[in-house]
Structure 1
Amino acid sequence: MKEFERKGLLERVDREGATVGASIPDEIEVQGEEIALREFVFEIKRRDTIPPGERERVDRAKKNLRRERLQRRQRLEAADISYEEGEELVGAIVGLDRALSALESLGEADVERQAKASDAADQKRWMNFLRQALGRDSSNARNRR
Structure 2
Amino acid sequence: MKEFERKQLLERVNREGATVGTQIPDRIEVQGEEIDLRQFVFEIKRRDTIPSGEKERVDRAKRNLRRERLERLQRIEDNEVSYDEGRRLAEDIVGIDRALNALEQLRPVDLEQEEHRQNAADQKRWMNFLKKALGRDGGKGKRGGR
Give the shorter-chain TM-score range.
0.7 to 0.9
CA distance in 2 between partners of 1:70 and 1:26 (Å): 20
Output aligned runs, 1:86-125, within 5 Å.
86-107=86-107, 110=108, 114=110
The Cα of 1:81 is off from its aligned counterpart by 1.6
CA distance in 1 between partners of 2:72 and 2:80 (Å): 13
What does residue 67 of structure 1 align with?
A: 67
User: Could you tell me which amino acid in structure 1 is paired with residue 86 of structure 2?
Assistant: G
User: Could you tell me which amino acid in structure 2 is paired with residue 35 of structure 1?
Assistant: I
CA distance in 2 between partners of 1:48 and 1:69 (Å): 25
CA RMSD of aligned residues (A): 1.7
How many residues matched? 113
What does residue 39 of structure 1 align with?
A: 39
Partner secondary structure for residue 34 of structure 1: strand
Partner secondary structure for residue 54 of structure 2: helix
The Cα of 1:9 is off from its aligned counterpart by 0.5
What does residue 136 of structure 2 align with?
A: none
Contact 2:6 2:79 in 1 (8 A): no
Compare the two structures and name the one with the higher helix fraction.
Answer: 1
4+ aligned runs moved over 4 Å, structure 1 = none
Structure 1 unaligned spans of 5+: 122-145
Deviations 1:40-96 (A, max 9, x none): 000000103111010000000000000000000000110332111110000000000
Partner secondary structure for residue 89 of structure 1: helix
**Aligned-residue identity in percent:** 72
Structure 2 unaligned spans of 5+: 118-146
User: Could you tell me which amino acid in structure 2 is paired with residue 62 of structure 1?
Assistant: K
Output aligned runs, 1:71-82, within 5 Å.
71-82=71-82
TM superposition score normalised by structure 2: 0.73
